[in-house]
Amino acid sequence: MLKSLIYKEWIKIRLVVWIALGLSLVALINIFLKVRHDILFVDAANYWYSFLFRGVVFFSILKFLPFIIGLAIAIAQYFPETVNKRIKLTFHLPVSENGVLIWMHTFGALVILTVFLVVLVLFTAGSAIFFPSNIIRASLLTMMPWFLGGMATYFLVALILLEPMWIYRGLYTAVAAGFVTVFYTGASIGAFRPVLMPLALITLLLSFVVLFSGYRFRKGEM
């Protein structure tokens, strides 16, 4: 059953996943071509200095990529379930209603996590060619809220899409927009370090909110 469910979810999101990976690759190539160019024409020491002390972020092109990926995968996965209330078919499968939502959600989150890990690994590998480890570590810490924001976006968009009432959808969207903005406020190097753990915890808690929309749908809210 799980294999079947994953099969269906993969059919819905696979195109978006390949596009997301392609876009990420293009963004990474762009970053490292620019870094190579700048280091050749400026010199490495000055370039590192501008990053460490003047807050010049050489990977800012990645900032909204996780948000876009989280948003796109959530829409690709959950919007088809809302068309003609197709979620009824999913809830009618011989699996518990919460169970089916948890599996769908876990699969979506794992796919996003995989895409993010691929991006982060490639970024780290590319950075290792040009930068010392402390710059790479600082870069990853700077990016972490963006990737957490991508995850939070996925969880919140799923909540919004499965919610049966438009007025609640509007309310959730307003709250979600305010909340997701927190992950993308400012870009100083490592500025989010002290709040990374709380943000990660909140993101983890958000993974369960989709069950509330599922519950409301099953109770016949409309």
Partner 1 sequence: MYAIECKNLTHYYGRKLVYENLSFNVEEGKILGLLGKNGTGKSTTINILNGFLQPNSGECLIYGENTQLLTPETKRRIGFLIEGHVQYSFMNIHQIEKFYSGFYPNWNSAPYWELMSKLKVTPKQKISTMSCGQRSQVALGLILAQDPDLLILDDFSMGLDPGYRRLFIDYMREYAKAEHKTVFVTSHIIQDMERLIDDVMIMDYNKILAQQPIGQFMSGFRQFNITLTSPDEEIDMDGIAVNIDKVKDKIEFYTYSKEDEVKGYLNAKGITYTAFEEKKMSLEDAFIGLTRKY
Name residues contacting partner 1, limited to 136-155 (CB under 8 A): none
Closer of 51 and 217 to partner 1 (Cβ): 217
Using rule CB under 8 A, residue 216 touches partner 1: no
Tell me the closest approach of the beta carbon of residue 119 to partner 1, in angstroms. 27
Treating both helix axes as pointing N-terminal to C-terminal, what angle do 65-82 and 97-130 enclose, rounded to 10 degrees? 160
Name residues contacting partner 1, limited to 67-106 (CB under 8 A): 80, 84-86, 88-89, 91-96
Closer of 93 and 140 to partner 1 (Cβ): 93
Distance CA 193, CA 175 (A): 24
* Burial class of residue 82 (count of CB atoms within 10 Å of its CB; 0-12, 13-18, 19+): middle
Closer of 130 and 212 to partner 1 (Cβ): 212
Using rule CB under 8 A, residue 183 touches partner 1: no
* Burial class of residue 80 (count of CB atoms within 10 Å of its CB; 0-12, 13-18, 19+): middle
Diameter over CA atoms, the chain: 64
Using rule CB under 8 A, residue 125 touches partner 1: no
Using rule CB under 8 A, residue 63 touches partner 1: no
> Which of 222, 123, 116 shows the shortest CA–CA distance to 167?
222
CA distances from 18 to 21, 69, 132 (A): 5, 11, 31
Using rule CB under 8 A, residue 18 touches partner 1: no
Tell me the closest approach of the beta carbon of residue 12 to partner 1, in angstroms. 6
Residue showing tokens 């699969």: 107
CB 210 within 8 A of CB 172: no
Binding mask of the shown chain, residues 19 to 48, with x at each position contacting partner 1 by CB under 8 A: ------------------------------
Closer of 8 and 63 to partner 1 (Cβ): 8
Distance CA 82, CA 19 (A): 23
Closer of 95 and 118 to partner 1 (Cβ): 95
Could you tell me how many helices (H) and strands (E) the chain has, helices first? 9, 0
Q: How far apart are the first and last CA of the chain?
A: 30
Please choose, out of 4-12, 23-31, 37-45, 140-148, the segment that lies near partner 1 by the rule CB under 8 A: 4-12
| Chain residues that interact with partner 1, rule: CB under 8 A | 1, 3-5, 7-8, 11-12, 80, 84-86, 88-89, 91-96, 217-220
